[in-house]
Every structure is written in structure tokens, then in C-alpha cells.
Amino acid sequence: KAGVTQTPRYLIKTRGQQVTLSCSPISGHRSVSWYQQTPGQGLQFLFEYFSETQRNKGNFPGRFSGRQFSNSRSEMNVSTLELGDSALYLCASSHDWAYNSPLHFGNGTRLTVT
Amino acid sequence: DQQVKQNSPSLSVQEGRISILNCDYTNSMFDYFLWYKKYPAEGPTFLISISSIKDKNEDGRFTVFLNKSAKHLSLHIVPSQPGDSAVYFCAARGRGGKLIFGQGTELSVKP
């Protein structure tokens, strides 16, 4: 079974631009979560989607947004990029939204903002 | 407000010995706990989990212990192998809530 696929793997953008990251979950998984990893902050929760609905949201500004499609694929968008948005963005999927369903992560998208 | 804490940023262990990684949490509503392993340039890999109705869960060389009264969990790796060298994250979740991660502990297993 294929794992979680994130595209692109690497991205370089300049301040003020916007970016869209894509995530394809494991086949059959309906829940998708997004995390930001930075050296100083660890893994910070961005948002979680299930059946195209946002179920949980982290403490990030409105410049960060996401959505989930009917095939469970998800995208996240960051508008008006800032230097501090440079990070590894990780997508994870789980079978459902049950609390005891572990997340399975992709290898992330490394975003560099210059 | 850091609800999940891993106070040791790094740990060094000799091959064949036991590795013990620790994690503390503050939110008493957490009832599902997980451990992940992460290599550089890869996403975290799920290792083992435990629900709050248990105090121990074992899977091969990996055992997770949960002490609810102390709000503490630990991961034991026995015996440790050089391939276990990675960053280990603990994570916790309450019913319907988001998964919260600790800051990670870098484990180095020396041959």
C-alpha cells in the first residue's frame, strides 16, 4: 500500500508570494492533518480535515489555510509568505477521525522563503 | 503552553543496552498516547501507542509505559541497536482533539 505522498518535496519562494502544498493520503484514509516543523518549535499542529470538513485548527494566522477534496486529497495554502514560514510542512493521514487512530506521515515539503 | 514535554533533548546509549525516553504531559483530558521515530529528511514513523485504560503496551523491542497519576509516559527500547539512532517524539490526544507533540529527544546508539 502506498504511503502518504506530499508534493513538491522542496520549494523556494520569496517574501510576499503564496504557495500551495499537496498531500495524497494512504488509500482508504479519510482524515488528513497538517503540521509545521521548525528546529525551535518542534511539530506544530496546523489543521485537521475529515470528510472535507475542518475538524480542528491550530494557532496559526489566517494566512494559513487548507482544504480537503472528496477523494480525501488535501492542500494547504500559505499567502503573503514571511521569512518565518520557512519550515518542513508535514501531512499525515489516518483511517478515520477516531481518537485512537494513529497518524501516518509523509516525508514533507521543505519550504524556504527568501 | 507546552502540554507535552520531553525534557531531554538528547540521549546516548551503548548498543545492546536499554534506551529509556521520557515524556510528561499536563492535560488530564489526554487519553491516547503515541511514540514516533524520525530520521532526517523523512516524516515521523509511528512506533507504538497506548490508551489511558492501559499502563503498558509492548511491541517487539519497544515497550511504552503510562503512569496517569504522574502524567508521565516512557518508551523503552531493548536491546538498543545503532539503527535506532533517530529523533523520538511523544504525542498525546484527547477525544476529538488534535494530536500534540513533544519537542523530541535525539537518541544516539553507539556500537
Confidence band, pLDDT 50/70/90 cuts, at residue A41: confident
The yes-or-no verdict on residue A6 having pLDDT over 70 is yes
Q: Does B44 touch chain A (CB under 8 A)?
A: yes
For residue A98, what pLDDT is reported? 67
Chain B positions in Cβ-Cβ contact with residue A108 (cut-off 8 Å)? 42-43
Residues A84, B44: Cα–Cα separation, whole Å: 22
Q: Which residue of A has its CA nearest to B6?
A: A42
Confidence band, pLDDT 50/70/90 cuts, at residue A24: very high
Sole residue written with cell 546508539: B109
Cα of first residue to Cα of last residue in chain B, in angstroms, is 38
The mean pLDDT value for A62-84 works out to: 97
Chain B positions in Cβ-Cβ contact with residue A23 (cut-off 8 Å)? none
For residue A97, what pLDDT is reported? 66
Confidence band, pLDDT 50/70/90 cuts, at residue B17: very high
CA–CA–CA angle B52, A27, A85 (5° rounding): 75
Other CB atoms within a 10 A radius of the CB of residue A110 amount to: 16
**Within 13 Å of residue A53, how many CA atoms lie on the same side as its CB?**
4
Cα four-point dihedral sign A4, A46, B35, B103: positive
The mean pLDDT value for A92-108 works out to: 86
What one-letter code names the amino acid at B19? S
